[in-house]
């Protein structure tokens, strides 16, 4: 990020909520000055267009007037939308309204460009009007008319922010090229290149307009957060940004979480946490992802994009229209540290069944209100998806918009490979994508976080952080402090070195790296709240780095006493800690010479193994200078599997429990004879009531529950197993019941 962008992102004025009534003047001498030259961050010091059509829909809803003046994006999702559909406002109508709202002051107009040929190849609800080979129509009938209108001198004083072609390029990364989740439509679009060519054409045409700022879609953390996805996705976008006559200069930044539900911050756990020696990354929810929320994902994406050649002043915008996850089900704190899944599921604020679920999610709420420069590296929180507009229909609906039926919008759907076969979590009775969905709007109001009325108007700053302390190496200072308190909730902390902002975090710790050995540094920390207020600074702390610098070549000692305990499907390794002159930072674990994981503790569990099989493990220590120790080695043989005789057995496991409800997993195991169908029954001792169940069919009468196999998982091989799971509500006791399993062979 350039020095100018850093400075602009962190001004107090920049944190103002964006609305038609909130305009912060820039130091400009003429109204045309801000149109002539692009600024690093178009949102700073500017008002933002409020769409009158969306505003009217919101205001007509009970309670909707509380947010009806918030700025949202205008969606151009088909050719007809350029001139207006069914008597509605077209692009010129919106731009003319924006000019009136601006009244000669700096003003942002936000628009979604969304009509690629073969659009959204991995879904159906958002299919478009153009076929896979309709690139010429896309260029001449969609992009060219839009570019001609945006280039009109009448709109030269607006800062026009575009989000370019949602989902398209990320789909080429994860759903094409022979991946496990590839679809025929995505394979077609990868082969013909029309996504890359189309996005390049759009960027070239729109980027040639001086007051247009292009932000390219970058998916979300639950899609592209894995190492195997993020860099390849950036590479594909770079390919598109340099196709069809475009250059990287036509990209002003990226947008994440568009029309999605990923939490902005997960306050109750981090990706670095461990539970009983098991990394949070091994939990079912995180599933080895590197990121647990959108803010950390966006910042990492920006760093990697700049390293890949994009301009250093690019910014990130995050769609916060539906990721608040407030309401009665929002966890008040971390989950129990009994298992890693209980810890994550009990504390995560994102209450979806799985991060791949995207359609009209039950329990979702409005997130942060649109705001300029809310944290370091983030240009703005925005509402790309207008709250109350459907993601897709719950059932097939005949239409002339090219929109199909996607099972992920059906609340009874039990999932697919892209969401690890979880329930869809969708609301019932939804209309077509983009159509007004009153029930969803009311759901978002009910579960808003910050709650309605707390994001604006609040002037009470958080308390200053206390207890600032530091540990040092020759090249880093690791700071910790005691959490601040605030009436609307602390959202993060800004860290300053020598009075200069160096980073932000939503945790109570921060590591400053790349420092000089044997040097004293002064630090202060300030807290931020949900309304944008900043606390007084903590007491200043002076920390001196140790001697040695970055030329340390002394490796840690090898781990000692490496040992293993096994079950039929896992091996738990333990070892004695290593020592090092600059400090041991963690351990790498290898199976058969292949790295399978890392940990900061002296234990690691490798699961999903085969019974009665020998596995070879080695462990190496890492130090703060990046050196690796020699390896410690051990061979571990898993135990034999268990046999249960004819019929079947079933085991019951509560995977998460948040006091008012819980999720449970049931494993059904066949005996020595293969079975063709199974049934599991039990009787609850309390008032547990199952609300949804996957991979089976359920009937419940009072406390008695019966679950029969689904059509696809009734047949189980001898000594094999299958599983089903469910969510339930309860109050009082939640004791584990005794199960009875019967089968036919």
Q: Determine if residue 55 is left, alpha or beta; phi over 0 gives left, psi from -120 to 50 gives alpha, anything else beta.
A: alpha
Strand 704-709 relative to strand 677-683, pairing: antiparallel
| Cα-only R_g, the chain | 27
Burial of 9 by CB count in 10 Å (0-12 exposed, 13-18 middle, 19+ buried)? buried
Q: What is 445-459 written as a DSSP string?
A: HHT-SSPTTTSSS--
Give the pair of three-digit tokens for residue 17: 């909520």
Report whether 270 contacts 331 (CB < 8 A).
Answer: no
User: What stretches of 553-617 show up as alpha helix (H) in DSSP?
Assistant: none
Handedness of CA 152, 155, 157, 158 (dihedral sign): negative
Please name which of 471, 478, 532, 544 lies closest in space to residue 508, comparing C-alpha atoms. Answer: 478
Residues in Cβ contact with 326 at an 8 Å cutoff, skipping those fewer than 6 apart: 365, 447, 448, 449, 450, 451
Give the pair of three-digit tokens for residue 302: 């920006």
494 is known as an active-site residue: no
Specify the long-range contacts of residues 592-596, CB closer than 8 Å, at least 24 apart: 592/616, 593/618
Strand 632-637 relative to strand 696-701, pairing: unpaired
Burial of 335 by CB count in 10 Å (0-12 exposed, 13-18 middle, 19+ buried)? buried
- The separation between CA 695 and the C-alpha centre of its own chain, rounded to angstroms, equals 26
Q: Catalytic one among 40, 77, 115, 120? A: 120
Give the pair of three-digit tokens for residue 704: 């008695």
SS3 content of the chain, % helix, strand, coil (to 5): 20, 30, 50
- Strand-pairing partners, residue 647, are none
Which H or E run includes 241? helix 227-241
- Strand-pairing partners, residue 478, are 471, 511
- Residue 10: CA atoms inside 13 Å, Cβ hemisphere, count? 20
Report whether 571 contacts 615 (CB < 8 A).
Answer: yes
d(CA 347, CA 266): 8
Inter-CA distances, 128 with 79, 116, 119, 176, Å = 10, 8, 5, 19
Q: What is 637-665 written as a DSSP string?
A: EPPPPP---SSEEEEEEEEEE-SSEEEEE
Give the pair of three-digit tokens for residue 459: 């002037």
Report whether 115 contacts 129 (CB < 8 A).
Answer: yes
d(CA 715, CA 33): 71
Inter-CA distances, 143 with 204, 254, 477, Å = 10, 19, 50
d(CA 708, CA 698): 7
Residues in Cβ contact with 184 at an 8 Å cutoff, skipping those fewer than 6 apart: none
Burial of 25 by CB count in 10 Å (0-12 exposed, 13-18 middle, 19+ buried)? exposed
Count of beta carbons in the 10 Å neighbourhood of residue 4: 12
Give the pair of three-digit tokens for residue 438: 């009153």
d(CA 345, CA 558): 35
Report whether 582 contacts 546 (CB < 8 A).
Answer: yes
Report whether 570 contacts 597 (CB < 8 A).
Answer: no
Report whether 241 contacts 250 (CB < 8 A).
Answer: yes
Active site residues: 120
């Amino acid at each position: 990020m350039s020095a100018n962008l850093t400075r602009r992102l962190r001004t107090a004025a920049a944190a103002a909520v964006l609305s038609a009534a909130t305009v912060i003047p820039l130091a400009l001498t003429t109204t045309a000055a801000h149109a002539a030259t692009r600024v690093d961050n178009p949102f700073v010091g500017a008002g933002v267009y409020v769409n009158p059509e969306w505003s009217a829909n919101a205001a007509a809803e009970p309670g909707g007037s509380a947010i009806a003046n918030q700025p949202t994006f205008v969606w151009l999702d088909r050719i007809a939308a350029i001139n207006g559909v069914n008597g509605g406002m077209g692009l010129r109508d919106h731009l003319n309204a924006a000019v009136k709202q601006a009244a000669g002051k700096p003003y942002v107009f936000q628009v979604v460009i969304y009509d690629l040929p073969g659009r959204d190849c991995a879904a159906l609800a958002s299919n478009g009007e153009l076929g896979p080979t309709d690139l010429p129509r896309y260029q001449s009938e969609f992009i060219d008319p839009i570019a001609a209108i945006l280039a009109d001198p009448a709109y030269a004083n607006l800062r026009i922010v575009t989000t370019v072609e949602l989902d398209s390029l990320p789909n080429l990364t994860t759903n094409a090229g022979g991946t496990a989740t590839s679809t025929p439509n995505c394979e077609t679009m990868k082969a013909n290149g029309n996504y890359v060519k189309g996005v390049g054409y759009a960027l070239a045409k729109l980027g040639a307009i001086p007051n247009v700022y292009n932000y390219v879609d970058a998916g979300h953390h639950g899609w592209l957060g894995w190492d195997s996805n993020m860099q390849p996705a950036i590479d594909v976008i770079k390919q598109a940004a340099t196709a069809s006559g475009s250059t990287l200069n036509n990209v002003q930044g990226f947008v994440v979480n568009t029309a999605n539900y990923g939490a902005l911050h997960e306050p109750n756990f981090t990706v670095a946490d461990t539970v009983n020696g098991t990394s949070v990354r091994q939990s079912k929810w995180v599933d080895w992802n590197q990121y647990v929320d959108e803010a950390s994902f966006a910042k990492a994406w920006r760093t990697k994009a700049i390293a890949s050649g994009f301009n250093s002043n690019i910014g990130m915008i995050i769609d916060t229209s539906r990721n608040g996850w407030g309401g009665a089900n929002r966890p008040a704190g971390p989950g129990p540290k009994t298992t890693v899944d209980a810890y994550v599921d009990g504390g995560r604020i994102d209450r979806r069944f799985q991060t791949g679920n995207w359609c009209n999610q039950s329990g979702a709420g409005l997130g942060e209100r649109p705001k300029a420069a809310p944290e370091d590296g983030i240009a703005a929180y925005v509402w790309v998806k207008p709250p109350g507009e459907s993601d897709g229909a719950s059932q097939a609906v005949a239409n002339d918009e090219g929109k199909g039926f996607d099972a992920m919008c059906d609340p009874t759907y039990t999932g697919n490979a892209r969401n690890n076969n979880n329930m869809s979590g969708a609301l019932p009775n939804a209309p077509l994508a983009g159509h007004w969905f009153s029930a969803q709007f009311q759901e978002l109001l009910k579960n808003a976080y910050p709650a309605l009325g707390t994001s604006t108007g609040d002037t009470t700053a958080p308390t200053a952080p206390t207890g600032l302390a530091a540990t040092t190496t020759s090249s880093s200072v690791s700071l910790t402090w005691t959490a601040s308190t605030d009436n609307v909730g602390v959202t993060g902390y800004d860290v300053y070195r020598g009075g200069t902002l160096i980073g932000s975090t939503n945790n109570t710790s921060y590591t400053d790296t790349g420092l000089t050995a044997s040097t004293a540094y002064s630090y202060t920390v300030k807290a931020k709240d949900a309304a944008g207020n900043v606390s007084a600074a903590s007491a200043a702390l002076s920390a001196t780095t140790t001697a040695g610098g970055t030329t340390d070549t002394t490796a840690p000692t090898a781990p000692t006493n490496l040992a293993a305990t096994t079950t039929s499907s896992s091996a738990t390794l333990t070892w004695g800690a290593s020592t090092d002159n600059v400090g041991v930072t963690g351990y790498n674990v290898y199976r058969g010479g292949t790295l399978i994981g890392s940990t900061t503790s002296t234990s690691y569990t490798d699961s999903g193994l085969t019974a009665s099989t020998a596995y070879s493990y080695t462990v190496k220590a890492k130090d703060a200078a990046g050196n690796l120790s020699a390896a410690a080695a051990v061979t571990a043989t898993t135990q034999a599997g268990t046999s249960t005789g004819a019929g079947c057995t079933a085991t019951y496991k509560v995977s998460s429990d948040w006091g008012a409800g819980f999720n449970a997993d049931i494993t059904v195991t066949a005996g020595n004879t293969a079975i063709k169908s199974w049934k599991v029954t039990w009787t609850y001792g309390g008032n547990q009531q199952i609300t949804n169940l996957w991979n089976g069919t359920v009937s419940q009468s009072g406390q008695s529950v019966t679950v029969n196999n689904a059509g696809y998982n009734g047949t189980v091989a001898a000594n094999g197993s299958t599983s089903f799971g469910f969510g339930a509500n309860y109050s009082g006791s939640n004791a584990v019941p005794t199960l009875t399993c019967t089968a036919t062979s």
